[in-house]
């Protein structure tokens, strides 16, 4: 495999972004974006396609096993996890950009604080230990698989930073708590669901299409809407 990797870079503390290209070669039949970035950065001296010595590409990763969501980025304008995104060997080049719905920290790294702050505002956690009913265990497990990577917010046409619509990331968090407390759901949780998801979702399900763990967003929505009707 020999392919040009174009990276939209941005220095820390600066607003101006710029494209920089790298030639990547590998004898492997299948290579992920994460593997390619690691191999480029592991070179003793990283040079761009013009032969200029440059700084290592900044990007965020942790587990590299599709378990944490840290390596979310755009591959040819599509939100992916770098560790789970294979490079198409038939392409001449690929383009990597940071997620656009979050402030860029540096190169492919973004600040997802707003997403986490939104979850804090809704208090989507348990105050004490709870016993999950056997019938609800599957739904709790499903909702708990959300990586909070931000891919769903990136693809969503309704989500915009600073608005009252918190997107599918909030839906998953609310679903996890409400399934555990199904018989005694805090009315505030349902009010938050109505205000920060129900009233804003366009039901295109693009979020379900890009979710790295294939969360059944539609199924979660059905359960939450059913509960919401009880509190109207």
CATH number of the domain encompassing residue 91: 3.10.20.30
What pLDDT, on the 0 to 100 scale, is given for residue 135? Answer: 67
- 3 state DSSP class of 208: helix
Residues 70 and 150 in one domain: no
Contacts of 65 (CB under 8 A, 6+ apart): 83
How far is it, in rounded angstroms, from Cα 161 to Cα 56? 29
Give the domain-ending residue among 110, 133, 161.
Answer: 110
What pLDDT, on the 0 to 100 scale, is given for residue 181? Answer: 65
Phi, psi of 145 (to 5 degrees): -80, -10
What is the domain extent for residue 20? 2-110
What's the pTM?
0.93
How far is it, in rounded angstroms, from Cα 36 to Cα 114? 29
How far is it, in rounded angstroms, from Cα 206 to Cα 151? 10
Whether the CA torsion 101, 37, 214, 204 is positive or negative: it is: positive
Q: Are 179 and 172 in contact (CB under 8 A)?
A: no
Residues 15-38 have a mean pLDDT of 97
State the residue for tokens 């669901």: 193
Residue 168: which H helix or E strand, with range? Answer: helix 168-180
Q: Are 188 and 203 in contact (CB under 8 A)?
A: no
Residues 13-28 have a mean pLDDT of 95
Residues 49 and 123 in one domain: no
Residue 51 pLDDT more than 70?
yes
Tokens at 160, concatenated: 């915009």
Does residue 28 or residue 127 have the better pLDDT?
A: 28
How far is it, in rounded angstroms, from Cα 126 to Cα 176? 10
CATH number of the domain encompassing residue 125: 1.10.1060.10
Residues 191-204 have a mean pLDDT of 96
pLDDT digits (tens, 9 = 90+) for 120-140: 999 888 777 777 777 678 888
Q: Are 9 and 107 in contact (CB under 8 A)?
A: yes
How far is it, in rounded angstroms, from Cα 116 to Cα 169? 9
Residues 148 and 66 in one domain: no
Whether the CA torsion 83, 157, 57, 18 is positive or negative: it is: positive
Residues 42 and 131 in one domain: no
Residues 80 and 99 in one domain: yes
Counting the structural domains of the chain, the total is 2
What pLDDT, on the 0 to 100 scale, is given for residue 218? Answer: 96
pLDDT digits (tens, 9 = 90+) for 55-112: 999 999 999 999 999 999 999 999 999 999 999 999 999 999 999 999 999 999 999 9
- Give Cα 112 distance to the centre of its chain: 9
Give the domain-ending residue among 110, 141, 172.
Answer: 110
Closest of 21, 61, 152 to residue 99, by C-alpha: 152
What pLDDT, on the 0 to 100 scale, is given for residue 60? Answer: 98
Over the Cα atoms of the chain, what is R_g? 20
Q: How confident is the model at residue 173 (pLDDT cuts 50, 70, 90)?
A: very high
Residues 201-218 have a mean pLDDT of 97
């Amino acid at each position: 495999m020999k392919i040009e990797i174009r990276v939209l870079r941005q220095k820390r503390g600066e607003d101006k972004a710029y494209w920089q290209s790298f030639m990547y070669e590998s004898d492997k039949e299948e290579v992920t974006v994460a593997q390619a970035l690691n191999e480029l950065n592991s070179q003793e001296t990283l040079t761009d396609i013009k032969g200029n010595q440059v700084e290592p590409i900044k990007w965020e990763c942790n587990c590299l096993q599709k378990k944490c969501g840290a390596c979310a980025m755009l591959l040819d304008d599509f939100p992916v996890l770098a560790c789970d995104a294979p490079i198409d060997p038939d392409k001449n080049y690929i383009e990597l950009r940071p997620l656009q719905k979050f402030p860029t920290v540096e190169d492919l790294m973004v600040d997802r604080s707003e997403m986490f702050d939104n979850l804090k505002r809704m208090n989507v956690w348990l105050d004490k230990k709870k016993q999950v009913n056997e019938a609800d265990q599957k739904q709790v497990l499903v909702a708990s698989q959300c990586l909070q990577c931000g891919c769903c917010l990136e693809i969503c046409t309704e989500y915009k930073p600073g608005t009252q619509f918190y997107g599918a990331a909030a839906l998953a968090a609310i679903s996890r708590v409400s399934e555990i407390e199904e018989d005694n759901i805090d009315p505030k949780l349902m009010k938050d669901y109505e205000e920060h998801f129900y009233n804003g979702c366009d039901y295109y399900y693009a979020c379900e299409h890009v979710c790295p763990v294939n969360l059944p967003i539609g199924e979660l929505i059905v359960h939450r809407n059913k509960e919401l009707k009880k509190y109207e």
